Structure 1
Amino acid sequence: MKTVGMIGIGMMGHGIATNVAKHGYPLVLLEHPGNQPLDALVKAGATKAPTIHDLAAVADVVILCVTGTPEVEDVLFRSDGLLNRLRPGTIVIDCSTAIPSSTQRIAAAVVKAGGKFIDAPMTRTPKEAAEGRLNLIVGGEKELFEECLPLLKSFAENITFAGPVGSGHRLKLLHNYVSLGFSAVLAEAAACAARAQVNPDVLVDVLAKGGGAGVILERLRPFIERGDASSFRFTLSNALKDMTYYDTMASELGASHATAAAIKDTYAGAYEANAGATVPELVALLADTEVSH
């Protein structure tokens, strides 16, 4: 089986790595202060690489699961980065959320260095990552996609081939815009309801029986009803990043994005008020704000 190198063992990356190892792939993990604890992965057979060059020397496939475009570019392009030691034929799979125009430049650089590239951003949460039930949206050459499919299936439940390189990241940003947009609208409505002293259980019941029903309501329901934010562990920092990326993509395409800009501003204001909060906590932050812009 191909040796898989992984860069970025955060909450999502840890779940991916766990399932890759569970399916028998030799796994090498880049040591980094931002990683989740690696003990369980090492016990499952994974090894650790102290540098990107050490990882590149043994990996047939490198999975990137880092925060966003600046981090992906840093991993690839810095002086001790992946491109400088990429072995011919190495496949780079970017599971991060990134700006598509950057993804296309990175893919071209990987190919020029003798490697292959697909973008495979994910949706769902750390819970599904741990269970091997992520959704993946893949951009790249169809033949390469099919070659990578057995590996992708080791940690994903639903896998969609989106088209050429960058298509995965475009669709991921579209998906997250809709998801985060719905979340912001619901949070603002719930905050207004709180000020109006509307019973939160009644609010949720009315929404669930009407036009507000859906995944986002179920994710925010525990916080609206009882202040429990554990059901949606997505930070305001990541929400603001994704909305900024969407805004950038829409601007580059010349697409309308006035609504997206307003939603981005909502997340920016909430992030400024509490940088460590998660999306469900947007309800409380908006309820405490005298004037929402």
Structure 2
Amino acid sequence: MKVGIIGVGLMGHGIARNVLRKGKFELGFLDHPGNQPVDEITGLGAVAYDTPAALAAVSDVIILCVTGSPQVEAIVTGDHGLVSSLKPGAVVVDCSTALPDSTLRMGDAVQAAGGAYLDAPMTRTAKHAHDGALNLLVGGDAAVLEKVRPVLASFTDTVDHVGALGHGHRLKLLHNYVSVGFMTLLAEAAAQAADAQIDPQVFVDVLAGGGGASVALDRLAPYITQGDREGLPFFVSNAQKDIDYYRAMSTASGAQQTVADNVSAALARTVEAGHGQAYVPELVKLFRKSAQG
């Protein structure tokens, strides 16, 4: 199988290098100014294409790793989109974080063009992508998943089939709501602790020894104690986007979203203040009284 990837960013670059190095598949990618430096993957044999259509014409499996639903829709059904030149039987694997309703529409468009669609959002971090150890939550036809599993195995630790098309993205939004929600709450508490001049290591140790022990604490602790943000290179603007996707999903299903509304408001104030490109751990500083003043 020849593989294509669209979105060679923080996560996509790791996927691309492992498709090449571990999977030893031929790889094409969309040339785009948002890509990370591509010297490594071109050195391993990856070939750049100018449009999604040109990439689709030569790819059996196409991985999408872009910001959200507007980008996915433009790639799949926009001008020079994938569906205009999809190979018969090709599989589109959407690893983005997207809205389930949009995913169903894109799945229908790809199926009408003779292909198949899987939503396969990722959990874990850019380091896991670099190491080829991501987890995927895959929605769609189980037989289609088995067809592309060798490709997915090159950049993953686990691949879980979670149900019908759209269920992957639904579960990813649920996951990110809990994960980002926990980290936003923790950052606010850590900011208050810092304002009160509580020793940051003592703060972390007290939480770790009690009900505050969590993956969220593990990810934010390096910033709380040492100012090291690199353990979680995830932009606050993307965190807000994911929470707002969760809220949109909740609105569509009639679910309660009171807590989600307030998490979104906390993140929105940070983005509106010009800190959208800060990493999520930096909320610990941005939520402090001195930052607000």
The residue aligned with 2:169 is 169
The residue aligned with 1:247 is 247
Whichever residue aligns with residue 46 of structure 2, its letter is A
The residue aligned with 2:188 is 188
The residue aligned with 1:280 is 281
Which deviations, in whole Å up to 9, do the C-alpha atoms of 1:9-58 show, x marking residues without a partner? 00100000001011111111111111111111111111111222221111
Q: Taking structure 1 as reference, are residues 199 and 216 closer, same or farther at Cα in structure 2, changes over 3 Å only?
A: same
The residue aligned with 1:56 is 56
Q: How far does residue 290 in structure 1 lie from its aligned partner after superposition? A: 7.9
Would you say 1:101 and 2:101 are equivalent positions?
yes
- Structure 2 runs not aligned, ≥5 long: none
The equivalences for 1:29-108 within 5 A come to 29-108=29-108
Q: Does structure 1 conserve the Cα–Cα contact (< 8 Å) formed by 2:30 and 2:48?
A: yes
SS of alignment partner, residue 255 of structure 1? coil
The residue aligned with 2:116 is 116
CA distance in 1, matches of 2:231, 2:278: 13
Would you say 1:263 and 2:256 are equivalent positions?
no
Would you say 1:152 and 2:133 are equivalent positions?
no
Would you say 1:14 and 2:13 are equivalent positions?
yes
Q: Does structure 1 conserve the Cα–Cα contact (< 8 Å) formed by 2:61 and 2:148?
A: no
Q: How far does residue 151 in structure 1 lie from its aligned partner after superposition? A: 1.1
Whichever residue aligns with residue 140 of structure 1, its letter is G
Q: How far does residue 79 in structure 1 lie from its aligned partner after superposition? A: 2.0
Whichever residue aligns with residue 12 of structure 1, its letter is M
Structure 1 window deviating more from structure 2 (74-83 vs 177-186): it is 74-83
Q: Taking structure 1 as reference, are residues 289 and 269 closer, same or farther at Cα in structure 2, changes over 3 Å only?
A: farther
Where do 4+ consecutive residues of structure 1 move more than 2 Å?
288-292
SS of alignment partner, residue 79 of structure 2? coil
CA distance in 2, matches of 1:144, 1:275: 37
Would you say 1:131 and 2:131 are equivalent positions?
yes
Whichever residue aligns with residue 175 of structure 1, its letter is H
Structure 1 window deviating more from structure 2 (283-292 vs 49-58): it is 283-292
CA distance in 2, matches of 1:29, 1:146: 23
Structure 1 window deviating more from structure 2 (197-206 vs 133-142): it is 197-206
SS of alignment partner, residue 93 of structure 1? strand
Which deviations, in whole Å up to 9, do the C-alpha atoms of 1:236-265 show, x marking residues without a partner? 011011001000001111111100111011
Which deviations, in whole Å up to 9, do the C-alpha atoms of 1:72-123 show, x marking residues without a partner? 0110121211111112211100000000010011101110111100000001
Q: Does structure 1 conserve the Cα–Cα contact (< 8 Å) formed by 2:201 and 2:225?
A: yes
Q: How far does residue 275 in structure 1 lie from its aligned partner after superposition? A: 2.0
CA distance in 2, matches of 1:101, 1:289: 41
CA distance in 1, matches of 2:52, 2:71: 13
Seq. identity, %: 51
CA distance in 2, matches of 1:149, 1:288: 49
SS of alignment partner, residue 14 of structure 1? helix
Whichever residue aligns with residue 50 of structure 1, its letter is D
Structure 1 window deviating more from structure 2 (273-282 vs 93-102): it is 273-282
Whichever residue aligns with residue 16 of structure 2, its letter is A
CA distance in 1, matches of 2:289, 2:96: 33
CA distance in 1, matches of 2:276, 2:241: 12
CA distance in 1, matches of 2:122, 2:129: 9
Q: How far does residue 289 in structure 1 lie from its aligned partner after superposition? A: 6.1
CA distance in 1, matches of 2:69, 2:186: 28
Q: Does structure 1 conserve the Cα–Cα contact (< 8 Å) formed by 2:8 and 2:34?
A: yes
Whichever residue aligns with residue 21 of structure 1, its letter is L
CA distance in 1, matches of 2:91, 2:145: 11
Whichever residue aligns with residue 276 of structure 1, its letter is Q
